[in-house]
Each structure stands twice: as structure tokens, then as C-alpha cells.
């Protein structure tokens, strides 16, 4: 191992991104994972005294492209929520309340399904969620979400609750048990299919849409950070890239001397 030098590791890292007789080129993400593994191996060898130096310490993994979160247009959000189900049924009331909550607060789907009745304050229009690391945050509840949740609690949840063994969870299934994350995902997927949305819609799509629409409306990125429960503003700033791209498109199509 002592014969391996920094140039050897650097050449190996570069070869990962180049097709050869042994196979095709790796993607940037796969190459980066491989380089990280190689660096970990050399650090281990150094600590164990198997080699006098770490030839990989200055070799950086290739940078991966930054994936921008997908956000729905507001018109598509309206269409999605409108297709949640029949508001004359308990299931429809529940599904509408769930989607309104996800888009209206930016909550993670796990945070939504773990909500308990006492976490919702309809008088002061707030909802308290438990995020990653058991960190609690209080979120404002908009009018649409508040009305949908109120209707569900009064006319929907009670019908489910009598079938169960008693639980404080807000969102219940037809047997009166807490709604699972997978079932909540299925609610979103079914609504998206009924709305005939062409783009792939996931639970995080409404969270992305929430953040993007706030920033497009002029909200400060640090306020959005607090609402989303991000530990660092750096995580939230990826949404500003989406907004900047939107502004660029508007400029190109609107300004007489843009093109």
C-alpha cells in the first residue's frame, strides 16, 4: 500500500467518470460514493499503521448536480386539493383536510400523520408539529386548512373514531386506527391521478410548493426556514434557486429587450 501515491488515487477517481473496456462511466453521484469509500479505506489503513501516509486526503469526490425541488403551479395545487374526494363523505373530508394541511403549513407527511387533536388550535389558528430530532414547532394555520380540518373533526373523524379503540391522532383510517404514512401517500397519489397532473407528485411536492410559493410571494428565506423546520438556512436556500429560475423565465417572456 505504501507504493500508492496521491496521483494514483486521483487517476482512479478520474477514471470512474470515463468509459473503458471494463464498463461505462459512472454517474457523478456513484463516482462520488466510490471516492468517499476509497478515502475511508485509506484513512483506516493509516490509523491501523498499514501505511505511513494517506494518499487520498487531497482527492475530492466529483461534485454532483444540485437537484432542484419540484413545485406545482398554484393552479395545479388547487386542482389537486379539489380532487381529494367527496366532501359529503368522511373519507373525502379527511383527505381534503390532510392535503390542505400539507400545503398550508409545509409539514412533512410524517409530521401530519403523527398529529394529535390537542396539537391543533383552531381558535388561534395554529398547529404544533414534532419534526426531526423531536424538535417542536408551532405553525400558522391558514383559513382554507383551518376550515377543512374543522369540518373533518366534526363530521368525519367522529365516524372513524367510534370504530377504533381510542386514539388521539387526528387522521384515522376507516377502522378508527391512526392513518399510516403509506396510506397518506396513497391519498395524495389518488388525488393527483384524479386531477390528471402530468408531473410526478409525492408527499414532498406539496412541501416544496409551500416553500416556493412563499418565496415567490416575498417571504424572507429565514422565515421559510423556521416554517419548514430546517436546522440550517443553507438547506432552505435551494428554494431560492427555483424562484430565481421562475423570475428569469418571466423576464425573458415579458421584457421587450430580453431577447
Is 230 one of the catalytic residues? yes
Model confidence pLDDT, tens digit, residues 11-46: 888 888 776 655 677 887 788 888 889 899 888 888
56: which 3 cell numbers?
A: 487520498
> Rounded distance, CA 84 to CA 68, Å?
27
**Nearest CA-CA partner of 95 in 107, 104, 103, 86:** 86
Which CATH topology does 74-249 take? hpI Integrase; Chain A (1.10.443)
Give the pLDDT of the chain (259 residues) as one tens digit per residue. Answer: 667 888 888 888 888 877 665 567 788 778 888 888 989 988 888 898 888 889 888 888 876 655 656 789 999 999 999 999 899 999 999 999 999 999 999 999 999 999 999 999 999 999 999 988 888 999 999 999 999 999 999 999 999 999 999 999 999 999 999 999 999 999 999 999 999 997 778 878 899 999 989 988 888 888 889 898 887 777 777 776 666 666 666 667 777 766 6
Is 74 one of the catalytic residues? no
Whole-structure pTM value: 0.70
Is 125 one of the catalytic residues? no
- Which residue in the list 108, 169, 208, 213 is annotated as catalytic? 108
- Which residue in the list 42, 157, 169, 239 is annotated as catalytic? 239
Angle at CA of residue 177, ends 173 and 180, nearest 5°: 65
> Rounded distance, CA 110 to CA 131, Å?
8
Is 132 one of the catalytic residues? yes
Is 108 one of the catalytic residues? yes
Q: Which residues, at least 6 apart from 101, have a Cβ–Cβ distance to it below 8 Å?
A: 107, 112, 115, 127, 141, 145, 148, 149
> How many other CB atoms sit within 10 Å of the CB of residue 56?
24
Is 152 one of the catalytic residues? no
Q: Which residues, at least 6 apart from 102, have a Cβ–Cβ distance to it below 8 Å?
A: 109, 112, 188, 203, 206, 207, 210
Amino acid at each position: 500500500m505504501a507504493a500508492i501515491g496521491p496521483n494514483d488515487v486521483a487517476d482512479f477517481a478520474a477514471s470512474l467518470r470515463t468509459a473503458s473496456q471494463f464498463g461505462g462511466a459512472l454517474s457523478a453521484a456513484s463516482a462520488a460514493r466510490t471516492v468517499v469509500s476509497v478515502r475511508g479505506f485509506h484513512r483506516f489503513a493509516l490509523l491501523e499503521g498499514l501505511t505511513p501516509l494517506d494518499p487520498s486526503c487531497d482527492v475530492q469526490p466529483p461534485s454532483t448536480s444540485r437537484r432542484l425541488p419540484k413545485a406545482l403551479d398554484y393552479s395545479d395545487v388547487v386542482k389537486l386539493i379539489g380532487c381529494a374526494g367527496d366532501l359529503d363523505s368522511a373519507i373525502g373530508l379527511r383527505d381534503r383536510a390532510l392535503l390542505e394541511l400539507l400545503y398550508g403549513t409545509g409539514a412533512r407527511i410524517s409530521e401530519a400523520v403523527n398529529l394529535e387533536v390537542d396539537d391543533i388550535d383552531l381558535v388561534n389558528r395554529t398547529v404544533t408539529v414534532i419534526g426531526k430530532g423531536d424538535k417542536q414547532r408551532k405553525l400558522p394555520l391558514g383559513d382554507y386548512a383551518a376550515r377543512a380540518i374543522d369540518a373533518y373533526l366534526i363530521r368525519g373523524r367522529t365516524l372513524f373514531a367510534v370504530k377504533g379503540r381510542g386514539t388521539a391522532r387526528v387522521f384515522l383510517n376507516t377502522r378508527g386506527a391512526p392513518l399510516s404514512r403509506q396510506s397518506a401517500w396513497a391519498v395524495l397519489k389518488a388525488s393527483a391521478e384524479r386531477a390528471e397532473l402530468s408531473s410526478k407528485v409525492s408527499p414532498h411536492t406539496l412541501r416544496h410548493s409551500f416553500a416556493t410559493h412563499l418565496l415567490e410571494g416575498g417571504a424572507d428565506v429565514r422565515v421559510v426556514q423556521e416554517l419548514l423546520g430546517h436546522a440550517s438556512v443553507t438547506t432552505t436556500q435551494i428554494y431560492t434557486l427555483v424562484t430565481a429560475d421562475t423570475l428569469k423565465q418571466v423576464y425573458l417572456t415579458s421584457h421587450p429587450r430580453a431577447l
